[in-house]
């Protein structure tokens, strides 16, 4: 076991103990956290963690948790430089926590993440354009993969994904 990890059993015992000031942070997205989470955790997605550093001061230990432990292990290596407290990553994430038989709170239904929706639609548009071009030899069908390529390039350069801005307005993505 890594020196900056904590097993699900150790975390469960620590949360029951209540002797020290412990904060358990779920680094997953809001959708992931809303679907299921370890009771007592707060949700601060990994990409927003830097914005909450002042709130993390004053704790003896901060336990970081994600799905498998990869995101929390990454954050565990970064956080100590920014705050003065002991940070630990939940070994195996919520997946191991649940498989070891510890309580998980389910709040909502699962949906495909926004980025996976973007990847799925981009892939369908590219494959459709190429397929229809091969069937009909009409060069206009090549506009589909071209437009998707331009959109993905724009998103990579600017950080603004137009497809995700459209998808977020769809009824299945509204809370």
Q: Which residues are catalytic?
A: 66
Helix (H) or strand (E) holding 102: none
HSE of 108, CA atoms in CB hemisphere, 13 A: 11
Burial class (CB in 10 A: 0-12, 13-18, 19+), 84: exposed
Backbone angles phi, psi at 25, to 5 degrees: -110, 130
CA dihedral 35, 39, 45, 48 (to 10 degrees): 140
Beta-sheet strand order (sheet of 61-65): 5-6, 86-90, 61-65, 22-26, 42-43
* Cβ count near 1 (within 10 Å): 8
Tokens of 73: 């292990």
């Amino acid at each position: 076991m890594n020196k900056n990890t904590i097993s699900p059993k150790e975390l469960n015992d620590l949360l029951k103990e209540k002797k020290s000031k412990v904060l358990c942070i779920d680094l997953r997205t809001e959708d992931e956290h809303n679907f299921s989470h370890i009771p007592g955790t707060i949700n601060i997605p990994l990409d927003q963690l830097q914005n909450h550093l002042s709130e993390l001061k004053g704790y003896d230990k901060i336990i970081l948790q994600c799905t498998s432990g990869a995101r929390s292990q990454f954050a565990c290596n970064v956080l100590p430089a920014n705050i003065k407290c002991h940070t630990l990553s939940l070994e195996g994430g919520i997946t191991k926590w649940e498989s070891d038989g510890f309580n998980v709170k389910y709040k909502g239904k699962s949906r495909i993440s926004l980025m996976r929706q973007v990847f799925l639609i981009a892939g369908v548009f590219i494959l459709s354009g190429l397929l229809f071009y091969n069937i009909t030899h009409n060069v206009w069908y090549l506009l589909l993969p071209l437009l998707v390529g331009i959109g993905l390039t724009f998103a990579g350069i600017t950080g603004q994904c137009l497809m995700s801005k459209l998808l977020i307005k769809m009824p299945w993505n509204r809370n």
